[in-house]
Structure 1
């Protein structure tokens, strides 16, 4: 062990205890970074920014980014980006409405990914030191709990209700939010300031009905904010009718988070979005770092939100949704190898399937039980022997022995099915 100098310094006496105890969020790239990557719910078709196929013109486009005023600090407000987002999500006020911002930009906040927004919401709403809490509905996105520990706030968990048997007997498992239980808990504990809902859920892929969200927003014994994380909303069948963005103008106690990472295929630029009424947006803006969105990120985001690029995004989403259907059919064809029916709602760009005990016969396959060890072995073998990377989710509540598989290109989907069949035949 290396000698610490100076001897009087002890790092564990300086760092806050909640940080020393922190289990960091483990992202997909912590495990594998090469091969067919179907583990991080990225857009397999890439960015939807329209670019030229002509090499000379493409070079000019790249030069447009490098010729930006990179020696200057970026615009801290980005009204053009916010205006395009407000238009896309139906937050532009009707003509003739009296408003300080006719573009709807005052309903939009931009963060360094949704993670900055999650962190900011906790910092501005929830007192640290275990005095106040957030509520989550596992299985859900792991960063809610990580940010809570970083900010030294408590976490109350109300698991999603799972109906069905998670693959056993050929019955599909379905998740839903237990609204009655949430209402009961927040009524008894006024220290809960934020409710985090993921819709479509990660890893469940399940949409939360707007009626359930409305019920929580209107519940008079909950005085806090309902946060709806819609990272995958563009993969739902009817985005306008499914998105809680339609509730933002009506309710002052809702925040809807979205991102350019998934449907827009721009995970690398780290642009998260919060939609809420102007008073809360102003508080987030007052609290953020002065220049949180870089000039290159802003330039790319504005291009991605142009009408042509949005149309291209929607076209790619349609292709991925079709690929999702094909992938689900392919996974169903592997039932005799011990692949159970998918769980969740399949409203995102990924699917989740349980891996069952190795069946001795086709009849036995229909009644197999989830086998967590076999699922983990399949995950490891696919990645380390066949360069096909999916995500093991068997330790999540309600996801026993489950693998989460991002919808890829037609060729990638075919390859993952082929390799799964080969490996399952052997293990």
Structure 2
């Protein structure tokens, strides 16, 4: 069966045991995607999409007066308001994809899909691959919580695919595959959230090459730019048709508010995602900002900021470890992301203490104005708080407040 929109190819798929047409649900393979007005023509007198020809109706004069004449509001919004907001956005965004392909060393834009954050990518992958009530995904807790949430959201009549939960050891993942051939997707978070631990390329290869698994391995690399260069699974894309790598502009690019997620895979899977996405999923303001964020000058700034955050991470980690006498344990996992996960121990003891950790968490937020994340309820994370690396000033304040909370609780 031919994937709609994808030219036939005589290139042999690797690994040999993988056939994408056996992974994608049959009704998705035959789905004819919605045809957008902008798929055919994007210039001229556009009378084809029932848009408002008079343009947007946003007025800045009243807003500025209510803000005591603050002209900065007008100056900030004018560039956005000049983006033809009354027109539907480009449904494909080839310029953004081209810059991503260049940044990540991909052969073409046909290896790139754009989503509304990584969450849209997760949702689409589950919808196109997993038959509700009959097929499953495998996750390796502790991990990003939206994998499980999206599976439940995609369930029909409450019958979601059962979630396999295994520690991230290749031998355990293989045993899970052997025990259950209905597993269609494996989600690996690298660096892990909340552990901050990078998964080696050798481990990812071992799962991709494992012949009994006929599904797709998804590697979520939201934090990859905080890791050592050369650690991204994108380097395996050319070899493996059963691999999908997710990335985002939310973390290292500092653009969490624009919600731009990225899927990187071989063209057949990218075409399937393209066929099933919403027609105009990436809005014009988001695209405008993303294109500039991916310019050479902006990417240089991203790398410089990442170096600063990594240096701050090391300093913050050292400061947290200096509080061991007050009942703060050694950080959990490796330090390959822009956060640290560290256990709060029972007072005077060496055992992680969820009750004390929750008290520290609430005290920091409600009395000290420092908000961290409690993660004690997750597998292997007893008593843990996850602390994002902030600015140098924020980190110094956080250390002082954590010390105070531990002394009093």
TM-score normalized by the length of structure 1: 0.77
CA deviation after TM superposition for structure 1 residue 157, in Å: 3.1
State whether residues 158 and 181 of structure 1, in contact with CA within 8 Å, keep that contact through their aligned partners in structure 2.
Answer: no
Answer yes or no: is 1:105 the counterpart of 2:94. Answer: no
Q: Which among 146, 150, 155 is matched to residue 162 of structure 2? A: 155
Instruction: Find the aligned partners of 1:371 and 1:227 in 2 and give their Cα distance.
Output: 33
Residue aligning to 1:120: 124
- Match of residue 71, structure 1, among 86, 93, 96: 86
**What SS does structure 2 have at the residue aligned with 1:154?**
coil
Matched, 1:137 2:126: no
Report the equivalent of 2:402. Answer: 420
2:225 pairs with one of 220, 223, 234: 234
Are the aligned partners of 2:166 and 2:173 in contact in 1 as well (CA < 8 Å)? no
* Deviation, structure 1 residue 61: 7.1
2:191 to 181, 197, 200: 200
Q: Which residue in 2 is equivalent to 1:179?
A: 170
Q: Which runs of 5+ in 2 are unaligned?
A: 1-69
TM-score (norm 2): 0.80
User: What is the distance in 2 between the residues matched to 1:77 and 1:57?
Assistant: 33
1:214-261: per-residue Cα shift (whole Å, max 9, x none)?
1111111000000000000000022xx200011111110000000000
Q: Secondary structure at the match of 1:319?
A: helix
SS state at 2:245 partner: strand
* Corresponding position of 1:146: 149
How many angstroms does 1:190 deviate by?
1.4
- Give CA-to-partner distance per residue, 1:126-147, whole Å, 9 cap, x none: 111x100000000000000001
- For the 8 Å contact 2:344–2:383, the answer to whether it is kept is yes
Counterpart residue number, 1:209: 200
Structure 1 CA distance for aligned equivalents of residues 81 and 94 of structure 2? 22
Deviation at residue 56 of structure 1 after TM alignment: 10
What's the CA shift for 1:57? 11
| Larger RCO, structures 1/2 (Cα 8 Å, 6+ apart) | 1
CA distance in 2, matches of 1:406, 1:222: 36
Q: How far did residue 59 of structure 1 move?
A: 6.9
Root-mean-square deviation over aligned CA pairs = 1.6
The alignment partner of 1:425 has SS state of: helix
User: Where do 4+ consecutive residues of structure 1 move more than 4 Å?
Assistant: 55-62
User: Partners of 1:419 and 1:330 in 2: how far apart?
Assistant: 12
Structure 2 distance, partners of 1:293, 1:356, is 45
For 1:384, what is the secondary structure of its paired residue?
Answer: helix
In structure 1, the residue corresponding to 2:320 is in which secondary structure? helix
Match of 2:363 in 1: 381
The superposition leaves residues 196-225 of structure 1 with CA deviations (integer Å, 9 ceiling, x where unpaired) of: 000000001000000111111111100000
**1:88 — aligned with what?**
103
- Secondary structure of 2:376's partner? coil
CA distance in 1, matches of 2:76, 2:255: 17
Equivalent in the alignment of 2:386: 404
Offset, 1:158: 3.4
Alpha-carbon distance in structure 1 between the residues aligned to 2:178 and 2:90: 42
Could you tell me whether the CA contact under 8 Å between 2:116 and 2:259 is conserved in 1?
A: yes
**Could you tell me which residue of structure 1 aligns to residue 33 of structure 2?**
none
2:260 aligned partner: 271
SS in 1 for 2:162: strand
Q: Is the 8 A contact 2:130 2:161 kept in 1?
A: no
CA distance, structure 1, for counterparts of residue 284 and residue 207 of structure 2 = 38
- Give per-residue Cα distances to partners, 1:362-407, cap 9 Å, x unaligned: xxxxx61111110000000000001100000000000000000000
Structure 1 contact 139–159 (Cα < 8 Å) conserved? no
1:90/1:61 CA distance change after superposition, 3 Å: farther
Matched, 1:328 2:331: no
